[in-house]
Amino acid sequence: MIVIKRNGAEVNFDLAKIVAAITKANDSIGEGARMTPVQIGRIAESVALACEKLERAPSVEEIQDLVEYQIMAHGAFEVAKNYITYRYVRSLIRRSNTTDEKILSLIECCNEEAKQENSNKNPVVNSTQRDYMAGEVSRDISERLLLPADIVEAHKEGIIHFHDSDYFAQHMHNCDLVNLEDMLQNGTVITGTLIERPHSFSTACNIATQIIAQVASNQYGGQSISLAHLAPFVQVSREKIRRNVEGEMAFIKASPTEEEISELVERRLRDEVRRGVQTIQYQVLTLLTTNGQAPFVTVFMYLGEAKSEQERKDLALIIQETLEQRYEGVKNEDGVWITPAFPKLIYVLEEDNIREDAPYWYLTQLAAKCTAKRMVPDYISEKKMLELKVDKNGEGHCYTCMGCRSFLTPYVDPQTGKPKYYGRFNQGVVTLNLVDVALSSGGNQDRFWEIFDERLELCHRALMCRHERLKGTPSDVAPILWQYGACARLKKGETIDKLLYGGYSTISLGYAGLYECVKYMTGRSHTDPGATPFALHIMEHMNNACRRWKSQHNIDFSLYGTPLESTTYKFAKCLQRRFGIIEGVTDKGYITNSYHVHVTEEINAFDKLKFEAQFQHLSPGGAISYVEVPDMQNNLEAVLQVMKFIYDNIIYAELNTKSDYCQLCGWDGEIEIVEENGKLVWRCPKCGNTNQDKMNVARRTCGYIGTQFWNQGRTQEIRERVLHL
């Protein structure tokens, strides 16, 4: 059995160390109150058994918690007291050099928790290590100097999660919708170089990738761009190519017909579109930002954003090429086609593409084919967005999320009276652990709501810390964002303060573990009709809090269905430490993301989407639903039926399948998860390969695809997912 040390390194479980620790505490008290060696041995064996039942690698802290519990269960309270005192003293000593230990473990590549902290970061490479090292220093400064002690303590205890604290010391925001249209049409500046309006589609794509990389290096969250902002440059290239063709024909004294010239122009244009789209795909995958990973970017595909019929056709051409290239995949180092993590693709289901007789139905068929093989695109329903995302003028709007799921709220620019989405951003997130609220109440309803309000106020203060950290930020800290069009065109030296108020940007109250919260308080899943009203009441209560805070501060607080990645494991461990193992609530190495149906619950795809739609609507700051499906490449009709259901019933959803490859034997089926020596590992079912460096595994975990593997809690969650089709 593997044990995870405090610095993230992994070691083998050693029963003798437990015996030795208990013996030291035992020897420190009078003989009359001491336990016998047999009792000490039994305690150690009980701890070992409890660790095995976790079905994952336990941490040192978890083992020590179990030791305390077992000592007290044997009635040896004096021994337990001395053992707890010893732990406390050691924790004070460690606290003085924790940051140093973590940094050293990162450099030596022995920090397993860091390796699994982000499923799209490779912690071995120097650039990622530098980011992690800087992050540890930033986190240390934030905890010691910048954040209130009670917020830091609540974060450490898993009561709340203060997201991205490793970036908090800097004046950085979370995520945004890049105003690519403004930057391409009106020019921009990148590292002091003026970039004028491009004169071809391929050049526009190249500039777009440079913008993406620059934006990613100046924030810590995801970004989204729209292909509609590139579509006008197809016509620019068409006109340029036509001039070239006509010149060539005149040079060779040929007399082709107008139809022949047009056909030749369109052929060359298609080649340029192909090269431009390929530039975006390969640049995004190969660029490394200053945080040591490929830019976290989402590409939005919405025909409804086109401004003319010709532009719509050109946009359709770009969308088709994007889907075809993603379907093909990218080659790994062995030359095998695999599924890339980025860019994430979102395809809008709309009237012009949702039915067989629609003019762009062929794109929807291609999207279904791509999803079945590569897990993208994900789908947004224009119908539901227009119905539910309504601004103060009573108009509905369809737009993309920022990165994987964070949505802006409808906004009308007071200066123009027109809706605005591109150029807006999110200030940051603090997530409330709903499971901890429930367990802290002991199941008492009155106490539950009291604690709930106390925790909400804690989140409120934490969110205001995020806001105050951004307040006063000069535009000079990130010119690409604040001066040259990605988010705004402020003057040098001007602060970003006016962008923090009035709804221009959002700030997010996240939540996690709604299922477990309801399960503990009612004894039933939130899918049970008798428990669903309680779950919806919880959602409304959080939305009401956001509305109060918005009125109080003129800041757009918004409720957000948190995409827990590594934090799902952290929350689970904290709950087990604070409340023990409670069947159906804390007996996993993970808690459920946001409002989702529990991964082990049997439910069909259509019922799941229909049920979750009501909770997604109550998460205006962002949410996504998914259905887990088997290999659907030979059943595209079923994929299309799910897509049609999404269009009619839910704002934003995705289909999760598997896309794996074993580099040792060439297996291209599902890589399985098995338990080995007390740890969950990935294993090829054909050759038995367990070397993660010799396999390619792609799984969707939080609205986006991860390819660098996950911690033990998330791995357990992935293994336990049931199929919905």
Cβ partners under 8 Å of residue 432, min gap 6: 160, 455, 456, 459, 509, 510, 511, 512, 542
Question: Two tokens at 54?
Answer: 């976790």
Bridging pattern class, strands 705-706 and 625-628: unpaired
Whether 635 is catalytic is no
SS3 622: strand
Residue of 113, 350, 382, 565 with catalytic role:
565
Whether 565 is catalytic is yes
* The pair of three-digit structure tokens given for residue 596, joined into one six-digit string: 């989702």
Annotated catalytic residue, options 138, 406, 543, 625: 406
Candidates 35, 172, 175, 205; catalytic one:
175
Measured distance CA(587)–CA(632) in Å, rounded: 32
> With the C-alpha atoms ordered 228, 229, 235, 237, is the resulting torsion angle positive or negative?
negative
Residue 511: closest CA among 598, 388, 590, 623: 623
In angstroms, rounded to a whole number, what is the distance separating the alpha carbons of residues 676 and 57?
Answer: 10
From CA 320, how far away is CA 314, in angstroms rounded?
10
As a whole number of Å, the end-to-end CA separation of the chain is 35
Nearest Cα to Cα of residue 520 among 415, 436, 402, 426: 436
Residues in the chain, overall count? 725
CB-CB contact of 142 with 168 (8 Å): yes
Q: How far is it, in rounded angstroms, from Cα 173 to Cα 572?
A: 27
Catalytic residue among 111, 119, 226, 426: 426
- Known catalytic membership, residue 703: yes
Could you tell me if 1 and 13 are in contact, meaning their C-beta atoms sit under 8 angstroms apart?
yes
Residue 464 annotated in active site: no
| Residue 691 designated active-site | no
Cis peptide before 198 (omega within 30 of 0): no
Annotated active-site residue 308? The verdict is: no
Pick the catalytic residue: 35, 404, 459, 464?
Answer: 404
**Helix (H) and strand (E) counts in the chain:** 24, 22
Catalytic residue status for 560: yes
- CA dist 481 and 221 (Å) reads 13
Q: Which of 428, 513, 703, 706 is catalytic?
A: 703
Which residue among 138, 174, 475, 619 is the active-site one?
174
Distances from the Cα of 384 to the Cαs of 324, 379, 381, 482, 653, in angstroms?
27, 12, 5, 32, 12
Q: What phi and psi values does residue 253 have, to the nearest 5 degrees?
A: 60, 40
The angle subtended at Cα 435 by Cα 676 and Cα 51, nearest 5°, is 25
Cα separation, 205 vs 278, in Å, equals 9
- Is-contact 195 187, C-beta < 8 A? yes
Tokens matching residue 195: 């970039």
Q: Which of 560, 590, 647, 704 is catalytic?
A: 560
Gap between the Cα atoms of 354 and 351, Å rounded:
6
Residue tagged active-site, from 35, 385, 402, 702: 402
Distance from C-alpha of 3 to C-alpha of 266, rounded to nearest angstrom: 61
- Phi first, then psi: what are they for 618, rounded to 5°? -90, 10
Please, which residues bridge with residue 401 across strands? none
Is 45 one of the annotated active-site residues of the chain? no
Smallest CA-to-CA distance from 108 within 11, 9, 4 is with 9
**Helix/strand/coil (H, E, C) string of 429-482?**
EEEEEHHHHHHHHCCCHHHHHHHHHHHHHHHHHHHHHHHHHHCCCEHHHCHHHH
Based on the residue annotation, tell me whether 175 is a catalytic residue of this protein. Answer: yes
Contacts 24+ apart (CB under 8 A), 475-480: 477/170, 477/171, 477/218, 478/172, 478/218, 478/219, 479/189, 480/188, 480/189, 480/190, 480/211, 480/214, 480/215, 480/218
Active site (catalytic) residues: 174-175, 402, 404, 406, 426, 560, 565, 703
